[in-house]
């Protein structure tokens, strides 16, 4: 796996749709309790879904997908954001196990949060994390997210839960 210096964080491109599909399926297979979807559901998704997802994530003003790439076309991490009722949410943070511990997740989160600061200024950003995902929880806390106290069941894997976390916008000055 590439070193930190060879991993580039960038916004997804429409032509990355199949690499995104492969990465997402690997994420769901490796860490099934980290996501609100499951492997079987995503394996059955039509290719057009992946194409649309990559296109919206590449150019959307209300949603974005950032990826970590260690070689052209080889994606090793992902993170996304969507807006619902004016509220920005982070979703889908994942780094391939061989690439963990090198700061890739933090770099992707920083890039996404920078985009959100311009796309949704002065908005609190929400995310949900399974508390068993200790490294992800620690990363979010380290980047200014706090637990809101709200939880909900992880629909596909009861009794697992997800906790909501929030990060308020930076105050200028």
> Residue ranges per domain, the chain?
4-121
* 30-39 mean pLDDT: 80
pLDDT of residue 27: 87
* 86-109 mean pLDDT: 94
pLDDT of residue 110: 97
Share of the chain above pLDDT 70, in %: 94
Q: What kind and span of H or E run contains 89?
A: strand 87-95
Residue-wise pLDDT for 41-74, tens only, equals 778 889 999 999 999 999 989 999 999 999 765 8
Using DSSP's 3-state secondary structure scheme, residue 69 falls into strand
Bond prior to 95 in cis (omega within 30° of 0) = no
Backbone angles phi, psi at 68, to 5 degrees: -105, 130
| Domain boundaries 4-121, CATH class | alpha beta
What helix, strand, coil percent values describe the chain, rounded to 5? 40, 30, 30
What span, in angstroms and rounded, lies between the C-alpha atoms of 69 and 134? 24
């Amino acid at each position: 796996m590439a070193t930190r210096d060879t991993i580039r964080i960038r916004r997804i491109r429409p032509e990355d749709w199949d690499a995104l599909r492969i990465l997402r399926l690997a994420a769901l297979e490796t860490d099934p309790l980290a996501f609100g979807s499951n492997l079987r559901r995503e394996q059955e998704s039509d290719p057009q879904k992946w194409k649309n997802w990559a296109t919206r994530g590449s150019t959307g003003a209300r949603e974005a997908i950032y990826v970590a790439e260690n070689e052209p076309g080889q994606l090793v991490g992902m993170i996304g954001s969507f807006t619902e009722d004016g509220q920005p949410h982070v979703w889908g943070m994942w780094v391939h196990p061989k690439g963990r511990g090198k700061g890739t997740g933090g770099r992707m989160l920083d890039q996404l949060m920078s985009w959100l600061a311009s796309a949704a200024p002065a908005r609190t950003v929400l995310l949900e994390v399974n508390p068993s995902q200790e490294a992800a929880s620690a990363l979010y806390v380290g980047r200014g997210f706090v637990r809101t106290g709200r939880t909900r069941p992880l629909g596909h894997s009861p009794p697992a839960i997800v906790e909501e976390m929030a990060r308020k916008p930076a105050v200028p000055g």
